[in-house]
């Protein structure tokens, strides 16, 4: 359906909001009807058919449920089950907004919004309404999305459900979880299930960018902007235009660079280094970090206004040790992958091997399990993987377990600290040395000292 032919009902007890939205939409759509009292909703629905209903989440009304928006959403679903409802919510009510998606809302917008953002949300909702096959849905009971994101544990089913609901929206997503849990796979699944799936998907490990390269890589540069800038170059924001930009390890960005990133996200435009020309961008933003929300909330480390900007909806990815039998599901998946890769028969798992897998702590998470199974497939002499075929990484197995008291000898503390920092940075000695306050040479001496 064309936006110009659309009829829209807006229900909000804030007169300023009603006026602002009516003025914005009156030249964009066919009809705009505003209503301050939600209890008049039934009358409006009996009188007219609306293509889109914008519904506030909170009202000071006689219903007084604490989440009036959900109550009225259910009423709309009863009276007009075919109606497309976009919820209007404040940042503090994001959890309620996500619940509204489960109750049948088409999308939600967060106050205060940019007019362009609201228009885009309305257009995409109309597009889905007229072409319900534009996004391929999946069942929440499935154990797999795409080819690599697997799981039938309750925690993963909740993630699959969230992906199903938020992917078709343009909400900014923050994915939280330990290293190796599959945050990048979740980001890719969201893109593949979105209306932008046919457009670019650009991933950037911003934590690995040096300060000198940060602006050039993200925002681009003009020829001659600095010594090695030999030609004009588009940044990752431009490359991701009309698609999805995935910023991995965003928690590692220094504060002064966070301000530059925030400016781009607020203004939805970039300026290449060496240029004064602002370039508009249209992206869906997904961010990920292994830093917990408590650490991100520390303003000495991360700007709160940037957290609000990137975190419309958050997804917590559980560590592998908390996913139960998903460990066996993933082990069998990896054994099939690597058996095909190395042209060997797909092996079975001996019961003792499965017990060994289930009882391991997995500080390296899914990535660690993947390497364990790859080694086992390569080295196994038989077509049944035994417990002794499963060799855990010396680095991972030396990590201090959550359930074990730490050894307090100074040498042991230093050794375990080095191992944990190296694991945190996925074996990157330069970054590990920097965090430890050592030179690379000094860190190598300690590795030799502890026979690591």
Tens digit of pLDDT for each residue in 118-132?
888 888 888 777 654
Q: Are residues 162 and 295 in the same domain?
A: yes
Please say whether the beta carbons of 443 and 429 come within 8 A: yes
Asked if the structure places residue 143 within a domain, the reply is no
Q: Is residue 230 part of a domain?
A: yes
**Domain annotation covers residue 83:** yes
Angle between helices 68-79 and 94-102 (to 10 degrees): 20
pLDDT over threshold 70, residue 407: no
pLDDT of residue 10: 94
CA separation for the pair 436, 429 (Å, rounded): 10
Note whether 230 and 342 are same-domain residues.
no
Q: How large is the C-alpha radius of gyration of the chain?
A: 26
End residue of a domain, out of 263, 296, 316? 316
Report in angstroms the alpha-carbon separations of 223 from 183, 219, 230, 233. Answer: 35, 14, 5, 8
What residue has token string 């993933």?
330
Same domain, yes or no: 363 and 215: no
Q: Does the pLDDT value for residue 103 go beyond 90? A: no
The CATH number of whichever domain residue 331 belongs to comes to 1.10.8.60
Q: How far is CA 62 from CA 38, 68, 71, 211, 405, in A?
A: 10, 10, 12, 55, 56
Residue where a domain stops, chosen among 299, 316, 333: 316
Choice among 273-282, 283-292, 426-435 with the minimum mean pLDDT: 426-435
Statement to judge: residues 167 and 297 lie in one domain: yes
- CB count within 10 Å of CB 139 equals 8
3-state secondary structure of 348: strand
Mean pLDDT (whole number) for 299-308:
84
Q: Is the same domain home to 334 and 208? A: no
CA distance readout (Å), 249 to 174, 259, 288, 309, 365 = 11, 16, 5, 16, 16
* Statement to judge: residues 192 and 300 lie in one domain: yes
**Residues 161, 38: one domain?**
no
Look at residue 244 and tell me whether its pLDDT is greater than 50.
yes
pLDDT of residue 438: 81
Range 235-260 burial, b when 16+ CB lie within 10 A, else e: bbbbbbbebbbbbbbbbbbeeeebee
Distance (Å, whole) CA 423 – CA 371: 14
pLDDT classification of 351: cutoffs 50, 70, 90: very high
* pLDDT tens per residue across span 408-439: 456 677 777 887 777 777 677 787 888 887 88
Please report which residue ranges of 103-200 form alpha helices under DSSP H.
115-130, 154-166, 183-192
Among residues of the chain, what percentage have pLDDT more than 90? Answer: 34
My answer on whether 161 and 242 are in the same domain is yes
Q: What is the mean predicted confidence (pLDDT) over 296-322? A: 86
Q: Dump pLDDT digits (tens) for 315-349.
A: 999 999 999 999 999 999 999 999 999 999 999 99
Please compute the mean of the pLDDT values over residues 128-139 and round it to a whole number.
47
Round to whole Å and give the CA distance between 426 and 180.
Answer: 9
Q: Is residue 146 part of a domain?
A: no
Total domains present in the chain = 4
> Do 168 and 120 belong to one domain?
no
Average pLDDT, the chain: 83
Domain presence at residue 116: yes
Residues of the chain above pLDDT 70, percent: 87
Span 11-58, pLDDT tens digits: 998 888 899 899 989 888 899 999 998 889 889 998 888 999 999 887
Q: Report pTM.
A: 0.60
Q: Which domain holds residue 430?
A: 410-449
Contact by Cβ (8 Å): 47, 23: no
Query: Among residues 359, 392, 425, which one ends one of the domains?
Result: 392
pLDDT tens per residue across span 148-199: 678 888 889 889 888 888 888 888 999 999 999 999 999 999 999 898 988 9
Whether 34 maps to a domain, the answer reads yes
C-alpha pair distances (Å), 393 with each of 81, 169, 364, 373: 54, 40, 9, 11
CA atoms within 13 A on the CB side of 287: 27
Same domain (yes/no): 325, 417? no
CA–CA dist 11, 13 (Å, integer): 7
Could you tell me if 163 and 311 lie in one domain?
Answer: yes
């Amino acid at each position: 359906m064309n936006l110009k032919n659309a009829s829209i009902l807006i229900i909000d007890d804030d007169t300023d909001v009603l006026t602002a939205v009516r003025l914005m939409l009156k030249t964009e759509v066919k009809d705009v009807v505003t209503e301050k009292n939600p209890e008049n909703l039934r009358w409006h629905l009996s009188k007219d058919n609306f293509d889109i209903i914008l519904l506030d989440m909170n009202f000071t009304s006689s219903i007084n449920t604490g989440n009036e928006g959900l109550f009225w959403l259910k009423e709309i679903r009863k009276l007009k089950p075919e109606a497309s409802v976009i919820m209007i919510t404040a940042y503090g009510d994001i959890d309620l907004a996500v619940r509204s998606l489960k109750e049948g809302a088409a999308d939600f917008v967060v106050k205060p919004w940019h007019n362009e953002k609201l228009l885009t949300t309305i257009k995409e909702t109309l597009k889905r309404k007229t072409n319900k096959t534009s996004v391929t849905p999946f069942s929440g009971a499935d154990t797999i999305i795409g080819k690599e994101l697997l799981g039938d544990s309750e925690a993963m089913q909740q993630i699959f459900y969230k992906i199903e609901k938020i992917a078709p929206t343009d909400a900014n997503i923050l994915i939280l979880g330990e290293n190796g849990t599959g945050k990048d796979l979740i980001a890719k699944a969201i893109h593949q299930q979105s209306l932008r799936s046919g457009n670019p998907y650009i991933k950037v490990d911003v934590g690995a960018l040096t300060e000198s390269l940060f602006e050039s890589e993200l925002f681009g540069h003009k020829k001659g902007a600095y010594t090695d800038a030999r030609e004009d170059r588009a940044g990752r924001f431009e490359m991701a235009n009309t698609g999805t930009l995935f910023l991995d390890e965003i928690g590692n960005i220094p504060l002064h660079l966070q301000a530059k990133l925030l400016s781009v996200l607020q203004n939805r435009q970039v300026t290449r280094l060496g240029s004064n020309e602002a370039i508009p961008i249209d992206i869906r933003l997904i961010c990920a970090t292994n830093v917990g929300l408590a650490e991100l909330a520390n303003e000495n480390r991360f700007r709160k206004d940037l957290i609000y900007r990137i975190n419309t909806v958050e997804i917590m990815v559980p560590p592998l040790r908390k996913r139960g039998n998903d460990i066996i599901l993933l082990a069998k998946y990896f054994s099939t992958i690597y058996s095909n890769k190395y042209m060997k028969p797909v092996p079975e798992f001996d019961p003792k091997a499965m017990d060994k897998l289930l009882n391991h702590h997995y500080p390296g998470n899914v990535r660690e399990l993947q390497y364990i199974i790859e080694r086992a497939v390569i080295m196994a002499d038989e077509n049944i993987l035994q417990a002794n075929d499963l060799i855990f990484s010396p680095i991972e197995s030396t990590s201090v377990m959550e359930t074990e008291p730490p050894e307090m000898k100074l040498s042991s503390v230093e050794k375990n600290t080095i191992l944990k920092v190296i694991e945190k940075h996925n074996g990157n000695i330069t970054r590990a040395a920097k965090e430890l306050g050592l030179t690379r040479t000094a860190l190598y001496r300690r590795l030799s000292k502890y026979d690591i």
